[in-house]
Structure 1
Amino acid sequence: MPAPAFPSPPQPVSAETRLAYVLRHFRLAYENVPDISIGYAGTQPQLEIAEGAGEFFSQTNPYPAAPNRREWLGQSVPFFFDAEPWKPLLELLPSGQSRINADIISGAFYLLSGWQEYYSEERDQHGRFPYSASVQHTYGFVTLPVVNYYFDVLKTAVEHILGHSLKPCTWLNGAKWAAFITHDIDNLYSAWKAPAKAAFQRRDWPSLARQLWQHFTEKDAWDNLEEVQQTVASYGAKSTFFFLPEHRKAANGTPNADYKLRKVWQKAVAAIGNSETGLHASIGTDKLHLQLKSEGDLLQQFKKGDKDFGIRFHYLGWEPRITPTLLSLHGYSYDSTLGFAEHFGFRNSYCLPFYPFNFSASPFTVNPPQVTIQLLHNAPVSFTLGPRNSIQTSTFLEIPLNVMDATLHHPRYLQLEPKEILPALTPMFQEIERFGGVCTVLWHNENFDPANENTGPRQFAEIMEYLRSRAVAFVNGTDIVGEITKQRSTAS
């Protein structure tokens, strides 16, 4: 499926814009970052970054040259825009200055902004940018939060200048990292269908009769929201339920919900208690303004006028040329769609929430006294990392999706054996913990059915037990937005 046309002619992204966007997120990752000038050569900043992007961000190529690998924190980390790989990555100068000999600003911007999927024409059968077309797949780093490694290099350089350490921001009750446990409610009444179909195909009439009898006389195994909420609560955790308002199939035949939200809402909210609820927007709404508005209005009506809720698109639909503008337009506080369906890890190579770059919006505003800039190609650019800087990006917070149950065993995806799941995920969890990030888990309610032995209750329990054993803070989307907003008030 081809990508939609650009909503407006693509505009070059200047060095000042890239610098401002990246440094804003650096300030959100660490506590109380003092004023310090950071920039490219020529303006004599305290921290000099080697410029390596050249003309790349004035063009529309989705992919830069292959990255160089450098060692940092015991990992082989890919560095894009690394024009002088023979030089040491970081030079701590005796004059109280530092130099980073790879363009980590351009590299961080490239990954965090989603530049590759904005300019790529590659889309899968569901209209999504495919993992197979990504630099994460090409160079094998989908489970490495590369931007966080870049930020650690930057932090080390800043600490040398300051003479003291910077601390990562913490989560609720001072926890070093957080976990966001979510459930997309696609189906409530369809647990009987697959076994009934299988019985019919093998002409097992007694089994078929039993399935039909249970369907008409007993509660469906997927009508289990209370059990889901209680299971998650038993770990001291919170659930966030994303409800799907559309029950009709999409135009291409892809199913939406097997229930009508109007009919089940009161029963559902009684089952989940005070758990957080959000919108699971239907197929195609990542590109359709009026349909997205209609579904958001419906959920707001059910929530008695409450407008402050998050969203995740069904089938992880996301069109980078359209969706960020729609989400900002409709005022969502957060989205949690950005993960690859095909592989767990980091779609934007970052393990913290971030404000998506909006290529269609006015890219930034800054307080003029804090900036030294010349808008000539390859001219010196510097930016003062001060408290008054304000960067205009998307208005909603992106809470990246790290692992989805379907990814782990779906026949088109990883096909992991049950015993392989936790060992496969553990290195990713360790990376999130290392950098104080948020681990977002999507486990559909239907996979709490004991009949699922591949991505079912047992595998979910193993993940939750691991997270709890690592002293994670279990949070919901509202908690995350509140923590980031609090940090933002001191970082802007």
Structure 2
Amino acid sequence: MLLVYSHRITPRIRYIFKHILTRTLLIPVSFTSKVEDFVAHNGLKLSYTKTALGSEFFIKSNDLLFEQGVNDLEINVQKWDDVPCFFATNINSSLPFDIFAASFYLITRYEEYLPHVKDTHGRFTAEQSLAFKYKFLEKPVIDIWSYKFLSLLKERFPDYTYKTRKYNYISTIDIDNAYAYKHKSFIRGFGGFFMDVFRFKLRDVWNRTAVNLNLKKDPFNTFNELLSFKKEFNIKTIFFFSIGDYTTFDTNVSASKNKYKLLIKNVQDYALVGLHPSYFTMNNASMLKKEKGRLENITNTTIKKSRQHYLRFNLPETYQQLIDLEIDEEYSMGYASNVGFRASTCTPFYFYDLDFEIQTPLKVFPFALMDTTLNDYLKLTPKQSLGKIRDLRNEIKAVNGTFITLFHNESLSDYLRWKGWKRLYESMLKIATA
């Protein structure tokens, strides 16, 4: 166990020290504000305060972990060897930067509480983030800092038996459109057919007709392939099903359709299932509650996992709604426009609510990349995407983190803009599980 001394033990200190020491480095931690207890402790220990007590492992503290609320902070990003970092300390500190305060700033998404301009979907954009501006978005810097800290800790305390966590991979699949053509209402089917004819999309007209006449399989019905990959590579796979009412942004098959209900139940027999709350649930708690209940009625289980459609969430409001509905795991932490680490970590973490200054029971699982980001935003080919995937996986593997990817069932269809992406998904699994 490692004992941390500080002149005042705050909720922020408990939160971030436990994340870095216990969840990332697997070192149990306890806290004291009594100098005599700290001096008497014979094991691992460090002081986190303004001035060292003696010659102990000392980290000069930034004020952030002793404050409450949100303030407009001055951030001066510098280099720690070859890694960007901020909140510099002084020569008396065992670390050149207060990585605990810096990690707290990034992992709580402190900057998303500050005034900012949202995109057309009401989202905080990658371009406004500190990580994007200083070019460390594609590095899990909190984990990298943690391991640099660990190496210095080992020098000071070489006799302690340190544990090492294992790298792991999670494949997540969003179901925005379970089917391209099947099981849609007559009006939607006829409207789609008419628009294809009007735009002279003759191949789409043929495919739509062939699927509805059962001459061809619906191109988006890739669930057997996804489950087959899950079994072949022995990977944890989570399917997030959209079951909201039809809107401009929610165009899935109706949740009242028996075929869709059977699909969800069939997938549930072989993989984990979560909720994919619809577009407008970001600010609508009653709609979110209705959709959660709807999915629970289909699966006959309590739904504990969730990811927002279009990755639309406001902090802390959306997460507070999920907590009220007893959602345990949240998977929206990432950007639509850029790959990388929105919270600067590849380690699942508990959401810290800056409004109430508490660690909540909601565990956030940050993903590293999304198929539509690679294809639609970055305009990468499958081959180019594989290189980007390999780079991100290597960053995560280096710190024994959790590699989470986001794909859609339709991206395995090899249909239209997704030509070649089924092969990419398989290649990605080979890289991720190597």
Q: Establish whether TM, by shorter chain, passes 0.5.
A: yes
> Equivalent residue for 1:82?
88
CA distance in 2, matches of 1:463, 1:436: 18
Give the SS at the match of 1:460.
helix
Aligned length: 400
Distance 2:230 2:173 in 1: 11
- Aligned CA distance change for structure 1 residues 262 and 360 (closer, same or farther; 3 Å): farther
Give the secondary-structure state (helix, strand or coil) at the position aligned to 1:49: strand
Go from structure 1 to structure 2 and tell me whether the alpha carbon gap of 1:70 and 1:403 turns closer, same or farther (over 3 Å shift): same
TM-score (normalizing by structure 1): 0.74
- Equivalent of 2:366, from 387, 392, 400? 400
Report the secondary structure of 1:242's partner residue. Answer: strand
RMSD in angstroms over aligned alpha carbons? 2.8
- After alignment, is 227-236 or 401-410 more displaced? 227-236
Aligned pair 1:200/2:197, yes or no?
A: yes
2: CA distance, partners of 1:273 / 1:55: 45
Q: Tell me how far 1:447 sits from its aligned partner.
A: 0.9
How far has the Cα of 1:291 moved from its partner?
Answer: 1.4
Counterpart residue number, 2:314: 319
After the TM superposition, which of the residue ranges 139-148 and 30-39 deviates more from structure 2? 30-39
3-state SS, counterpart of residue 78 of structure 1? strand
Give the structure 2 partner of residue 310 of structure 1.
305
| Contact 2:70 2:113 (C-alpha < 8 Å) held by counterparts | no
**Cα 1:128–1:100 shift into 2, 3 Å:** same
SS of alignment partner, residue 340 of structure 2: coil
Which of 153, 159, 171 is equivalent to 1:181? 171
Q: Report the 3-state secondary structure (helix = DSSP H, G, I; strand = E; otherwise coil) of the residue aligned with 1:290.
A: helix
Residue 129 of structure 1: how far off its partner (Å): 0.6
1:40 aligns to 2:37 (yes or no)? no
Change in 2 beyond 3 A, CA 1:428/1:468: same
Q: CA–CA distance in 1 between the matches of 2:76 and 2:57?
A: 26
Give CA deviations for 1:33-58 in whole Å, capped at 9, x if unaligned.
Answer: 46524312336273321234579956
Change (3 A) 1:209 1:139: closer
Compared CA separation, residues 458 and 317, structure 1 to 2 (3 A) = same
Matched, 1:329 2:339: no
CA contact (8 A) 1:155 1:166 kept: no
**Alignment partner for residue 69 of structure 1, among 68, 72, 79?**
79
Task: Say yes or no: does 1:115 pair with 2:124.
Answer: no
- CA change 1:168–1:399 in 2 (3 A) is farther
| 8 Å CA contact retained: 2:347, 2:401 | yes
Contact 1:256–1:282, Cα closer than 8 Å, also in 2: no
1:197/1:79 CA distance change after superposition, 3 Å:
farther
Give 3-state SS (helix, strand or coil) of 1:394's partner: strand
- Alignment correspondent of 1:149: 144
Question: Paired residue for 1:23?
Answer: 17
Q: 1:210-243 CA deviation, whole Å, 9 max, x = no partner?
A: 2342132123211232222113322222321111
Q: Which residue of the partner structure matches residue 465 of structure 1?
A: 430
Report the Cα distance in structure 1 between the residues aligned to 2:303 and 2:159, rounded to whole angstroms.
Answer: 39
Distance 2:424 2:195 in 1: 24
Change in 2 beyond 3 A, CA 1:18/1:268: closer
Q: Which amino acid aligns with 2:430?
A: E
User: Judging changes above 3 Å, is the alpha-carbon distance between structure 1 residues 60 and 238 closer, same or farther for their aligned structure 2 residues?
Assistant: closer
> Partner of 1:125 in structure 2?
120
Counterparts of 1:205-244 in structure 2, within 5 Å, are 207=203, 209-218=205-214, 219-244=217-242
C-alpha distance in 2 between matches for 1:102 and 1:54: 13
Aligned to 1:258: 253
Describe the SS at the equivalent of 1:100.
coil
Asked if 1 retains the 8 angstrom alpha-carbon contact of 2:412 and 2:418, the reply is no
Kept after mapping to 2: 8 A contact 1:81/1:107: yes
SS in 1 for 2:79: strand
| Distance change in 2, residues 1:346/1:15 (3 Å) | farther
Counterpart-to-counterpart distance in 2, 1:168 and 1:55:
27
TM-score (norm 2): 0.84
Aligned partner of residue 433 in structure 1, secondary structure: helix
Distance change >3 Å, CA 453–CA 420, structure 1 → 2: same
1:298-345 C-alpha deviation (Å, 9 max, x unpaired):
2222222x3252111111111013022122221112111101111111
SS of 2:13's partner is helix
Give the unaligned 5+ runs of structure 2. Answer: 1-7, 31-44, 183-188
Structure 2 counterpart of 1:417: 381
Where relative contact order (Cα < 8 A, 6+ residues apart) is larger, the structure is 1
- Structure 1 position 188, deviation (Å): 2.0
Question: Deviation per CA, 1:132-167, whole angstroms, max 9, x where unpaired?
Answer: 111111111111111112212332333233323664
CA gap of 1:468–1:404, structure 2 versus 1, over 3 A, is same
Deviation for aligned residue 1:110? 0.4
CA distance, structure 2, for counterparts of residue 177 and residue 239 of structure 1: 16
Asked whether the 8 Å contact 2:304–2:326 carries over to 1, the reply is: no
- Structure 2 counterpart SS, 1:436: coil
Q: Say whether 1:135 aligns with 2:144.
A: no
The one-letter amino acid of 2:390's match is T
Give the secondary structure class of the aligned counterpart of 2:282: coil
Q: Do the aligned partners of 1:409 and 1:415 also contact (CA within 8 Å) in 2?
A: yes
Per mean C-alpha deviation after superposition, the further-off stretch among 308-317 and 212-221 is 212-221
